[in-house]
């Protein structure tokens, strides 16, 4: 029978009891202070339960069964505002006093209001013309950090035999460093043109947009022989939806409403490694 996985920084016993009653649960399993499994639930009560979870700021995941993480083959992630805490292009722009203009385009693109991601990226990059290349290093060292739970998520999935793919509409300056630092299997993103130590305002080669992200995920899945049930994809913006559609475990992390509405799972309050609690791990019985 299916289960409802509850995760939040503060889980109140009264909420757990009410949710278990709503779903006519067969039992409740406490995995930890921020993670409760309501077992053997009746799906007839799901809509009411999810509404209560939203009101109580609880991340809830409805799963048919807890499968071993080792049965999966691929974890694919977006970078900006998903794996890391910033939108890198916005922070580069901030270094040269152009963040307001660039961030407005970024936000509209992530909400899906600008449907042509390639055009939006070129428009933003054009605003960076003349910025010193040193701004990229400053953003990486001074402002970029992994989002909470990212390190553990990647370490556990790698130890469980999954390949890890970073696919980003951002830039190779950042994805290449993250790939090396985290030992990721692959990383794909866009290349900024730099001449004489300055950004030219152009991107080299084809743009990694939503379709390209999906193509990279599909290629990795084909190479691994991975079915949708063996793929986890995490993103936050509209240009992640195409690759998320390839995965049974599509995860909207701190996502825009349009993305959250289309993803199977969402994490609005819990760290990234909360994903692990939807599976059976080698150390969890």
So what's the pLDDT on residue 114?
77
- Active-site residue, from 15, 59, 80, 90: 80
Distance between CA atoms of residues 26 and 41, nearest Å: 6
Both tokens of 120, joined, read 């939006």
78 is catalytic: yes
Distance between CA atoms of residues 70 and 82, nearest Å: 23
Give residue-wise pLDDT tens across range 164-204: 999 999 999 999 999 999 999 999 999 999 999 999 999 99
Q: 0.75 cut: is pTM over it?
A: yes
So what's the pLDDT on residue 224?
98
Q: At residue 194, what are phi and psi to the nearest 5 degrees?
A: -125, 125
- Active-site residue, from 15, 78, 90, 236: 78
Assess contact for 260 and 104: CB atoms under 8 A: no
Residues of the chain with pLDDT under 70: 283-285
E strands, 27-79, in order: 27-32, 35-39, 59-63, 74-77
Distance between CA atoms of residues 41 and 24, nearest Å: 6
Residue 265: Cβ-neighbour burial (10 angstroms; 0-12, 13-18, 19+): buried
So what's the pLDDT on residue 1?
85
So what's the pLDDT on residue 283?
58
80 is catalytic: yes
So what's the pLDDT on residue 272?
98
Show the domains of the chain with their CATH numbers. Answer: 1-66 (3.30.70.260), 67-85+145-285 (3.40.50.1000)
């Amino acid at each position: 029978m299916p289960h409802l996985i509850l995760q939040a920084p503060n889980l109140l016993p009264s909420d757990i009891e009410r949710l278990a009653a709503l779903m006519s649960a067969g039992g409740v399993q406490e995995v930890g202070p921020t993670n409760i499994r309501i077992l053997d639930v009746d799906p007839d009560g799901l809509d009411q339960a999810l509404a209560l979870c939203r009101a109580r700021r609880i991340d809830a995941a409805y799963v048919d069964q807890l499968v071993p993480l080792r049965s999966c083959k691929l974890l694919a992630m977006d970078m900006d505002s998903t794996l890391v805490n910033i939108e890198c292009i916005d922070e580069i722009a901030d270094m040269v006093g152009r963040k307001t203009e660039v961030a407005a385009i970024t936000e509209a693109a992530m909400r899906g209001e600008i449907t042509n991601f390639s055009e939006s990226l070129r428009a933003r990059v054009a605003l960076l013309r003349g910025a010193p290349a040193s701004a990229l290093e400053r953003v990486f060292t001074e402002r970029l950090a992994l989002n909470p739970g990212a390190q553990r998520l990647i370490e556990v999935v790698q130890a469980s035999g999954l390949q890890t793919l970073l696919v980003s509409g951002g830039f190779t300056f950042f994805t290449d460093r993250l790939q090396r630092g985290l030992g990721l299997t692959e990383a794909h993103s866009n290349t900024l043109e730099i001449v004489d130590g300055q950004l030219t305002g152009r991107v080299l080669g084809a743009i990694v947009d939503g379709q390209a992200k999906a193509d990279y995920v599909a290629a990795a899945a084909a190479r691994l022989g991975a079915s949708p049930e063996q793929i986890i994809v995490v993103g936050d913006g509209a240009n992640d939806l195409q690759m998320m559609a390839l995965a049974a475990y599509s995860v909207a992390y701190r996502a825009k409403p349009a993305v959250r509405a289309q993803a199977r799972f969402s994490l609005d309050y819990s760290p990234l490694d909360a994903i692990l609690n939807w599976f059976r791990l080698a150390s969890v019985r």
